[in-house]
Amino acid sequence: MKTASLGLMLVGCLMTVFGGAQNLVPNPGFEDYKKCPVTFSTDPLHFGPDAWNSPSKGTPDYYNRCSIGDMDVPRNWAGVSYPHGGFGYAGIYAWSTTGVYREYVQCQLTESLRAGETYTIQFFYRLSSYSVYAIDRIGLALTDTAVQVKHDQVLTLPLAVAQVNDLETLTNGWQLASATIEARGGEKFIVIGNFWGQEATRSVKIEVREGKSLMLGGSAYYYIDDVSVTPLTPRPDTATLASPRLHEVYILGHIGFPFDSDQLLPASFPELDRVATALRQNPLWKLQLSGHTDDQGTAEYNMELSLKRAKSVARYLVQQGIAGDRIETHGFGKQEPLQLGNDEAARARNRRVEATFVEK
């Protein structure tokens, strides 16, 4: 539990947007707020980012570059860290030597999960640089209804992400927690924090650190950023290009490239001609192209190859008379598979370019 004495601490502080898939988490990077934070929370109601709240009597904190002082970014009372993306992030106490105290952050998804559909869930977390202790685990729970309890102890909820790591890795920058699940149906709320008790949670003291406050000297405090829940269920295919709609993700299933190449095959042209026609018929639209690869090769190489393939599609459309400033290209490598598995059928489905029409 925080006290007024914390005011003497040092200052500091996509949607990310996650690829072509629709992120069901509102305000996923804690960018939006009704009021710029001015100090750490001493009441659950003080937690300020839009769409997020505290599900318990714990008091999570909100940091944003708009602030000056305790809640600043990158320097704040809990440490020094740039966001994983954007200008803001949340902060929670995940463990303490002085007793069982937990903080969590909660939000309502933009729509309930659909039974039998597959979703990728992920968020980024980072140990604050003024925390003297690190722990080996953190998680994300999915619930049908909002959680609101009258205590600041461990929450027992159904976990969708249960991230348990070697303690040695937990002090090195932003860490990714992720899982792919099949929805039961009806899940609408996510809660992030440490859902394990004192005995189950392994901790390590970082001897080279000195706590900047009494609590940080005996606790593990983590920043949270860039949360996403995205569907992996197959989305509309090229047949729907006959009547395209804004903000729909179209999988360009007939786009072909030679192995390890970004050169378009001639079989790709008819489908790309339909994309060009849609842009000509809707002059106020722009196009976002997202390249994706299978799981073979390094993350860095696949990221580069996926971007090159998206740019190859853009070049063809420009050759058909579409203005280049109407086309955006993005590469996501192997981060967003449509189909799980390492067989050739799954890999072929995951090697793709997606198109999304948006307003100018």
| Residues 210-256: tens digit of each pLDDT | 667 778 899 999 999 999 998 875 444 444 577 788 888 888 866 76
At 251, the amino acid letter reads I
Just give the CATH number of 4-231.
Answer: 2.60.120.260
Asked whether 94 and 103 are in contact (CB, 8 A), the reply is: yes
Say how far apart CA 221 and CA 79 lie, in whole Å. 10
- Sign (positive/negative) of CA torsion 4, 10, 12, 13? negative
* 3-class secondary structure, 197: coil
Say how far apart CA 154 and CA 147 lie, in whole Å. 13
Which of 23, 15, 81, 6 lies closest to 249, judged by CA? 23
Say how far apart CA 352 and CA 347 lie, in whole Å. 10
Tokens describing residue 78: 């809990």
Tokens describing residue 328: 């955006």
Say how far apart CA 304 and CA 11 lie, in whole Å. 38
Per-residue pLDDT of the chain (360 residues; tens, 9 = 90+): 443 332 322 222 233 333 345 789 999 999 999 899 988 888 888 888 999 999 999 999 999 999 988 999 999 999 999 999 899 999 999 999 988 999 999 999 999 998 888 899 999 999 999 999 999 999 999 999 999 999 999 999 999 999 988 776 555 689 889 998 989 999 999 999 999 999 999 999 988 776 677 788 999 999 999 999 988 754 444 445 777 888 888 888 667 676 677 888 787 888 899 999 999 999 999 999 998 888 888 888 888 998 999 999 999 999 999 999 999 999 888 888 877 777 777 777 788 888 989 887
- Give the pLDDT score at 200: 94
Specify the domain boundaries for CATH 2.60.120.260 within the chain: 4-231
Whether the full predicted model's pTM is greater than 0.85, yes or no, is: no
Helices (H), the chain: 269-281, 299-319, 344-350
Name the CATH topology of 238-359.
60s Ribosomal Protein L30; Chain: A; (3.30.1330)
Say how far apart CA 61 and CA 37 lie, in whole Å. 9
- Give the pLDDT score at 229: 93
Say how far apart CA 360 and CA 224 lie, in whole Å. 32
Say how far apart CA 89 and CA 236 lie, in whole Å. 34
Specify the domain boundaries for CATH 3.30.1330.60 within the chain: 238-359
Say how far apart CA 293 and CA 304 lie, in whole Å. 10
* 3-class secondary structure, 157: coil
Backbone angles phi, psi at 278, to 5 degrees: -60, -40
Rounded to whole angstroms, the maximal C-alpha distance in the chain is: 69
Q: What is the rounded radius of gyration, in angstroms, for the C-alpha atoms of the chain? A: 22
